[in-house]
Amino acid sequence: MDRRIRGAALACVLLVTGVATGCATEPPAESRRPTAPSRSVAPTGSPTGSPGGEAGARAGVEAAYAKWGLEPLAAAPAPPDAKPVGLPAAAGPVPVISEIPTQEKIVFLTFDDGAEKDPEFLTMMRELKIPFTMFLTDSAISADYGYFGRLQALGDGVQNHTLTHPNLRTLGAAAQKREICGQQTKLKDRYGTAPRLFRPPYGNWNEDTRAAAASCGIEAIVLWRESMQIKNMQYQRGDKQLHPGDIVLAHFRGPSELKGTTMTEMTANMLRHIQEQGFTVARLEDYL
């Protein structure tokens, strides 16, 4: 694993960021949003024109979840006609968000960095059709850009998490701009589209970060409300519960960082927490 990311994972435990522990180890505006492929959670039953077809679709979903030892998530609601988070006008400040305003019992999954490239995770996401957003660091993904391209082909968003995963608050404005704009260029060249969203490593940012992000074409800085560890979630709120619209942080990490647990097993644990609290998963880019 890249020494920068290994060091970042350790530093993440030590840094106090004002948010839950975790790191990425965040014309009219509407006309600037590119059209992206939509991917929804597989429904527990979808209309097919006949009761038999509907039952077959439901059985297929249940079998896919059962393979991974999970109960099916509910179908995600249709995305809103108007996105509930207003993005800035050309000269406006870049918003910094940790949740999406909604009354629906939905959360949004995000995976950071890119050090782990578990083939089983790719299979799981293909079979379960769980939407999520990737915030990628070039120094972590450069050994296998193709792995993340295969996830993108499933409909999962590719977004910016800097070139080398520094603590941006320790850098000047010019250095922050190089980290963010440099990764914009890398990701556009590799995956075909410049990211609209940015997550600062460790959740650390300042006003220089916002200015740099805006100059690089970023439309929102995305933080989080919960972070997934190995078996349990860390919550920012005192009630230790998910809330509608929460953004959940997880990482592309493997057994060496998860005490022998695979990324796929960690993800299954996360989905159990979501299902047990009566939530389902929606696609962040459909709301932002």
Pairing of strands 106-113, 247-251: parallel
Q: pLDDT digit string (tens) for 130-168?
A: 999 999 999 999 999 999 999 999 999 999 999 999 999
DSSP string, 56-113: HHHHHHHHHHHHTT-PPPPPPPPPPSS-SSPPP-TTSPPPEESB---SSSEEEEEEEE
The backbone torsions φ and ψ at residue 64, rounded to the nearest 5 degrees and listed phi first, read -65, -45
What's the 3-state SS for 106-139?
A: EEEEEEEECCCCCHHHHHHHHHHCCCCEEEECHH
**pLDDT above 90: residue 2:** no
User: Which run of H or E residues covers position 5?
Assistant: helix 3-14
- State the CB neighbour count (10 A cutoff) for residue 231: 14
Q: pLDDT digit string (tens) for 49-67?
A: 455 666 777 788 889 999 9
**pLDDT above 90: residue 92:** no
pLDDT for res 97 = 96
| Separation CA 144–CA 148 (nearest Å) | 8
Least Cα distance to 231 among 202, 271, 203, 281 occurs for: 271
User: Which run of H or E residues covers position 237?
Assistant: none
pLDDT for res 44 = 41
- Helix orientation angle between 119-128 and 51-67, rounded to the nearest 10 degrees: 160
**pLDDT above 90: residue 263:** yes
**Mean per-residue pLDDT, 8-17:** 39
pLDDT for res 47 = 43
Higher pLDDT: 189 or 93? It is: 189
Of the pLDDT bands very low, low, confident and very high (cuts 50, 70, 90), residue 188 is very high
- Tell me if the pTM is above 0.95: no
Structure tokens of 231?
Answer: 């078996």
pLDDT for res 93 = 87
Write the DSSP symbol of residue 234. Answer: E
Q: pLDDT digit string (tens) for 66-90?
A: 999 999 999 999 999 999 887 766 6
Name the most confidently modeled range: 2-16, 51-65, 78-92, 173-187.
173-187
Query: Bridge-partner residues for 134, per DSSP?
Result: 111, 158
pLDDT for res 19 = 44
Of the pLDDT bands very low, low, confident and very high (cuts 50, 70, 90), residue 39 is low
Structure tokens of 286?
Answer: 């459909």
Least Cα distance to 208 among 245, 155, 171 occurs for: 171
| Separation CA 87–CA 95 (nearest Å) | 7
Q: Which residues contact 118 (CB under 8 A, 6 or more apart)?
A: 252, 254, 262, 263, 264
* 40, 41, 70, 280 from 46: Cα distances, Å: 12, 12, 19, 16
What does the mean pLDDT of the chain come to? 86
